[in-house]
Amino acid sequence: PVKLKEAYGDHVAFWGGLDTQHILSLARPEEVSEHVKKLLRALAPRGGYVFAAVHNIQPNTPPENILTAFKAAHEFGKYPIG
């Protein structure tokens, strides 16, 4: 995502990034939070990023992971991003 943001970030907006197949459905809450933090640091600086899931949330996803992802986005997604 960093290379895409550097190359196209001034011309397009990015939507998504939250991995619903592997991270959200299978990872521990701490890993979910770290994934969200990395996404925001890569894609959110200078604007042009909408935090969202890449695909549908899988039926086996622990509800705790969903809450963790959006809490992390709220915590780490405040400007200035860093």
For 4-35, write each residue's pLDDT tens digit: 999 999 999 999 999 999 999 999 999 999 99
Contacts for 72-81: CB closer than 8 Å, 24+ residues apart: 72/32, 72/33, 72/36, 72/37, 73/36, 73/40, 76/36, 76/37, 76/40, 76/41, 77/40, 77/44, 77/51, 79/44, 80/45, 81/40, 81/41, 81/44, 81/45
Tell me which of 68 and 79 has the higher pLDDT: 68
Tell me which of 8 and 81 has the higher pLDDT: 8
Give the tens place of pLDDT for each residue, 66-77: 999 999 999 999
